[in-house]
Amino acid sequence: MSTILLLLITGVGLGALYFLVASGLSLIYGLMGVLNFAHGSFLTLAGFLGWEVGRRVSDGTWAGLLIGMLVGIATGAIAAAITELVFIRKLYNRHIEQVLVTVGLGLATVALFEGIWGSDPIRIAKPAWLGQTTNILGANIPNDRWLLIGCAALVLGLIVLFLKKTKYGLIIRAGVENRTMVTALGIDVRRAFTIVFAIGGAAAGLGGVLASVYYGQVAAHQGTSLLIYAFIVTVIGGLGSLSGAAIAAVLVAVIQQFANFYLGGTGDLAVVLALAAVLLVKPTGLLGKKTTH
């Protein structure tokens, strides 16, 4: 029983990390129809800069981690907004060019990160409590999972409030349903596009710093690896569905954890099979629906 509980809670913790990366992808595609393959670069850059600033403030302490998280959020938001303004804005409805540009940007930034920080992972220091465990019904749960779960829940709540309670949130929700109609009403959705990119980048930036806590290291390819799972989560949850991304992130991570433990490390295969099953049964994803772009 304790093993099952351990796998379940650690799976939810990993799912929280997946959600932080996937939430931005889901929103960006839902409003703009853009599959941003450079999204992982926001995560990696935020992870490195958050680590660099945090360790200079107070390495291995809560103050350093908090500063690092704030730097990561700001870094992700700024990098995403610049990407939308410089590379994406002129390529809406030109999907092949979008893919080529964002894939190229992703590859170029990985090379840039390797040039600056090297290709080997860099071990990081974190607050002592995060390296300890909490006993829950006989299961020793790593404390860093609680941090991931709490941050993901907070991000989900803040994004939902933004979408439901603000002017731009209403524009974004309407755009997800029918972008053509919103444009026909004379609403300038370009600013909303930039805001969505910034929100997605901020969530990914936070995810980048927390990924370094989860793995105990920061590396040039970290964002690329997580981006693969984020795309799987986005597709399973339903492109454009934030709630679907949250549910799918937990499902994917829990399946991965159980398969790795009970089926000889076949977690990645189990996730791919789950993706195939969802696409065969419900091509739009768990909570996705057809959108008009």
The fold of 2-281 is: ABC transporter involved in vitamin B12 uptake, BtuC (1.10.3470)
Q: How confident is the model at residue 289 (pLDDT cuts 50, 70, 90)?
A: low
Is pLDDT above 80 for 190?
Answer: no
DSSP-derived letter for residue 87 is I
Q: Is 46 exposed, middle or buried (0-12, 13-18, 19+ CB in 10 A)?
A: buried
List the chain domain ranges. 2-281
- Which DSSP helix (H) or strand (E) runs through 142? strand 139-142
Please name which of 56, 15, 9 lies closest in space to residue 155, comparing C-alpha atoms: 15
Q: Greater confidence, 287 or 123?
A: 123
Phi, psi of 292 (to 5 degrees): -110, 115
82-127: pLDDT as tens digits: 999 998 888 877 878 888 999 999 999 999 999 999 989 999 999 9
DSSP characters for 88-122?
A: IGGGTT-HHHHHHHHHHHHHHHHHHHHHHH-SS-E
The two three-digit tokens of residue 200, written as one number = 């997605």
The two three-digit tokens of residue 278, written as one number = 């969802």
What's the whole-model pTM score?
0.91
